[in-house]
Amino acid sequence: MIRVQEEDFDVGAEIAALVRGNHEIGGVVTFVGLVREVTGGAPIAAITLEHYPGMTERGLAKIEAEAHQRWPLSASLIVHRCGRLEPGERIVLVITASAHRRAAFEACEFLVDWLKTKAPFWKLEETGEGGRWVEARHADAAAAERWTKG
């Protein structure tokens, strides 16, 4: 399941709702991304995530479907926030549930690597010097490349 929203999310409630009633699930891996205060240069006061409603959800649904093809997942959820977020705030939630913990770990990391580099968002960083649109990062792209089929 996929959601893009301005509101915060409740990690415990999302996990509970996702696995409820499924007693085959043995492991649930969750990634919560937080807004960092320092990402290289000056401390940031806030970021603003802009996206393309409709296209974003299609992109997220597609990568989620790919994860289900590659790993035996029982359930998954991606929630990505948009709008203005300050350091320490939750920005993204990825949950993968499987009978087998290795599948849940790998699928979760695969989704997070993709989201961090290829999720259709544009990020504006606010610092004391004003706002700056972030450019695509090469290190993150390399992390996502790990998952490319040979």
Beta strands 75-81 and 2-5: pairing type? parallel
Quick check: 99 binds a second copy (CB under 8 A)? Answer: yes
Quick check: 119 binds another protein (CB under 8 A)? Answer: yes
Among 1, 3, 30, 124, which residue interacts with a second copy (rule: CB under 8 A)? 30
Quick check: 89 binds another protein (CB under 8 A)? Answer: no
Quick check: 23 binds a second copy (CB under 8 A)? Answer: yes
Output the CA angle 141-106-18, nearest 5 degrees: 110
Query: How many CA within 13 A on the CB side of residue 46?
Result: 8
Between residue 12 and residue 41, which ones bind another protein under the rule CB under 8 A?
A: 33
Nearest residue (CB) to another protein, 65 versus 150: 65
- Distance, in Å, from the CA atom of 103 to the CA atom of 73, rounded to the nearest integer, reads 7
Quick check: 111 binds another protein (CB under 8 A)? Answer: no
Using alpha carbons, list the distances in angstroms from residue 76 to 68, 123, 135.
8, 25, 29
- What is the binding site for a second copy (CB under 8 A)? 10-13, 15, 19, 21-38, 87-88, 99, 101-102, 104-105, 108-109, 112, 116, 143
